[in-house]
Amino acid sequence: MEPVTLILILFVAALVLFATEWLPIDVTALCLLSALLVLGLIQPKVAFASFGSDTVITLGSLFILTRVLLRAGVIEWIGMTLTRRARNPTALLRGLLGTVAGVSAFTSNTATTAVFLPVVASAARRAGFPASRALMPLAFASILGGTITVIGTSTNLVISGALPTIGLAPIGFFELAWVGVPCAVLGLLYLFFVAPRLLPARDTELAEGLRAYLADLTVAPGSLLAGLSLRESGLGRDYGLTVVAVRRAGSTDSSYGPGPDLVLQEGDTLTVEGQTQRILAGKTALGVVSRSEQKQLALAAAEVGGPTRPSDVRLVEAVVMPGSSLLGRTLRESRFRERYGTSVLGLHRRSRTLERAGARRPNASMVERLGHTRLQIGDVLLVQGSAARIDALGEHLVVLGDLTEQVRDLRRAPLALLLFGGAVLAGGLGLVPLAVSALVAVALSLALRLIPPEEAYRSIEWPILVLVACMLAFGTAFESTGAAKVLTTALSGVLEPLGPYGLLAALFAVTVALTQPMSNQAAALVMLPLAVGTANALGYDPRPFVIAVTVAASNSFITPLEPSCMLVYGPGRYTFLDFIRVGAGLTLVTFVAALLIIPRVWPF
């Protein structure tokens, strides 16, 4: 059988598998590459070279650098700063969506959506309308921002990296901004004024799976809270923490349900209620400490003869089981810290949540100090300690989940931001290739212990890297065997009557359609050689068609299958039709904007 026929058969088979996801996309890509090698359609040296390509190195590095920014709390700090300074709730929500679009131009839109999700939901409540009318716009704003730079989405990088293999220059760092910025602005206006009218007003369950803990935090010397009233502290407004009791330094009595005018002093211990990430963010940003945590770290340091490294400490949720020796006893009575070498940062009890209980003034027994609270079956403890100590908890507690990667250290934020910004600036200005600047930033992040190596490896989305490497190799085989020429010659005969504008519209529409059943990266890599080959066959400059495929592959709004959309799908209680209703209009906006702008910036 002719090589061209074999390639086309494999091409169709890959399309079917990508669309049906009968196999995971990375497995399909590996099977495709294996078939190329077995059939002799590509040489091993050429096939394996794609795994070390600039695109793969850049993608892997950016996954790690995004995790470094998240670990340092940079993105959360941006959201909290905007929340703190905004006056009007509606303006705050719109400002947050604009900020999300800006941030996602340089970071993963999925990570940006995840970090801003609770912030946007809170802003929606303050603006007086259901979070269901804000969460989908959040996901869409993050996707819109991804079309502004070449690193905005992995799809942009994939196409840019594939272009040299077909004889075209890669996409410039800000080249997409000519069309990406107008599409983002028009899209945001649509999300501000049109989307809320189309979205349902449903009660959301954002807190589902996010436990509210009670935690004791002490105002340390030099804390930003010292001398401020509870109203001025912003603990509730900016950090989502409810102060349910305050105990003065040197006193054994607590003031329950403190008023907003209570002025905080150094040494005050606050009993606060909030979600894990909010407690951690407030603890690192405001200069409040957990005495239990400090004592446990000192104990651990004494055991190892030196200070413990942050990467050695784990944070987990553990539930008290029937038959545990801890039942009916307080943490102090059981000598929990000394016995297990771990510290309890918070306690969640399913039967009580102040807001759900509807108590205006909480009962003192409900918010006792953690050390004096008698444990019950089903209590969930937020436990911090070394890996070995955590593993030893199994006899008395069952670990529900590892929350270590939620720990933020805002003290490292300036350094993390400097490394990320330096990599982007050096790559964007062309001082060094982007792959080099990103890799150097990763090496420095690891050397400076901004992220442990284990977490860095976990942060890489390996299926995407495998997909990209395999499909780059397939693209090379597609060209070298002449299959691309055969297919594009046939397509050019059909599409020639449409003219350049019709061809541009057709390629955009087909790419959008393909991104619904398959991944954005796969759709882009399938459409790229077809767009370039058809343009060359018809005598057009392929650049505008490359840009159209890139923008179309990144703007996936019609279904909730995009990862950013999946993050809000459950919390917003959306249906599939909700995404079609709102996403179709936004897709039309970007479609029209792209058709008007692309030919003027990149002439046919």
Can you give the CATH number for the domain in which 339 is found? 3.30.70.1450
- Residue 367 is predicted with a pLDDT of 45
- Residue 355 is predicted with a pLDDT of 35
- Residue 303 is predicted with a pLDDT of 54
Half-sphere exposure at residue 253, Cβ-oriented, CA atoms within 13 angstroms: 2
Tell me how many domains the chain contains.
2
Query: Domain for residue 274, yes or no?
Result: no
For residue 84, pLDDT beyond 50: yes
Query: Domain for residue 116, yes or no?
Result: yes
- Residue 501 is predicted with a pLDDT of 93
Secondary structure class of 272 (helix, strand, coil): strand
> What's the DSSP call for residue 174?
T
For residue 114, pLDDT beyond 60: yes
User: 335 and 421: one domain?
Assistant: no
User: 355 and 421: one domain?
Assistant: no
Q: How far is CA 169 from CA 166, 178, 437, 474, in A?
A: 9, 17, 19, 19
User: 436 and 401: one domain?
Assistant: no
Secondary structure class of 66 (helix, strand, coil): helix
User: 338 and 418: one domain?
Assistant: no
Identify the residue with better confidence: 516 or 432: 432
Identify the residue with better confidence: 157 or 78: 157
For residue 505, pLDDT beyond 90: yes
Q: Which domain holds residue 122?
A: 64-204+411-459
User: 401 and 440: one domain?
Assistant: no
Query: Domain for residue 125, yes or no?
Result: yes
- Residue 408 is predicted with a pLDDT of 66
Q: Which range among 75-79, 204-208, 258-262 has the greatest average pLDDT?
A: 258-262
Residues 440-492 pLDDT 10s:
999 999 999 888 898 899 888 888 888 888 888 888 888 788 887 787 778 77
- Residue 360 is predicted with a pLDDT of 38
Secondary structure class of 350 (helix, strand, coil): coil
User: 329 and 423: one domain?
Assistant: no
User: 200 and 319: one domain?
Assistant: no
pLDDT band at 357 (very low <50, low <70, confident <90, very high): very low
Q: Which of 427, 444, 459 is the last residue of a domain?
A: 459
Instruction: Note the helical H segments in 105-198.
Output: 109-127, 132-145, 154-162, 177-193, 195-198
Query: Domain for residue 68, yes or no?
Result: yes
Q: How far is CA 528 from CA 5, 484, 518, 549, in A?
A: 20, 10, 15, 7
For residue 58, pLDDT beyond 60: yes
Rama region for 169: left / alpha / beta (φ>0; ψ in -120 to 50; rest)? beta
Residues 374-390 pLDDT 10s:
888 878 888 888 777 77
- Please give the full DSSP string across 228-273, using - where no structure is assigned: -BHHHHTTTTTT--EEEEEE-TT-S-EEES--TTPBP-TT-EEEEE
- Residue 295 is predicted with a pLDDT of 64
Q: For the ranges 25-29, 204-208, 269-273, 280-284, which has the lowest average pLDDT? A: 204-208
Q: How far is CA 7 from CA 3, 531, 543, 555, in A?
A: 6, 18, 25, 29
Query: Domain for residue 99, yes or no?
Result: yes
pLDDT band at 138 (very low <50, low <70, confident <90, very high): very high
User: 194 and 320: one domain?
Assistant: no
Q: How far apart are CA 277 and CA 403, in angstroms?
A: 9
Position 243: which residue type? V
User: 371 and 430: one domain?
Assistant: no
Q: How far is CA 189 from CA 68, 502, 588, 589, 596, in A?
A: 32, 27, 13, 10, 18
User: 402 and 447: one domain?
Assistant: no
Name which of 169, 142, 157, 149 is nearest 59 in CA terms.
157
Q: Angle between the 74-85 and 276-286 helix axes, to the nearest 10 degrees?
A: 80
Identify the residue with better confidence: 300 or 40: 40
Position 51: which residue type? F
Q: How far apart are CA 1 and CA 592, in angstroms?
A: 44
Secondary structure class of 234 (helix, strand, coil): coil
Q: Which of 378, 407, 436 is the last residue of a domain?
A: 407
Position 463: which residue type? P
Mean pLDDT of 1-22: 83
- Residue 356 is predicted with a pLDDT of 34
Query: Domain for residue 134, yes or no?
Result: yes
Identify the residue with better confidence: 187 or 278: 187
Helix (H) or strand (E) holding 423: helix 413-428
Query: Domain for residue 278, yes or no?
Result: no
Mean pLDDT of 502-524: 86
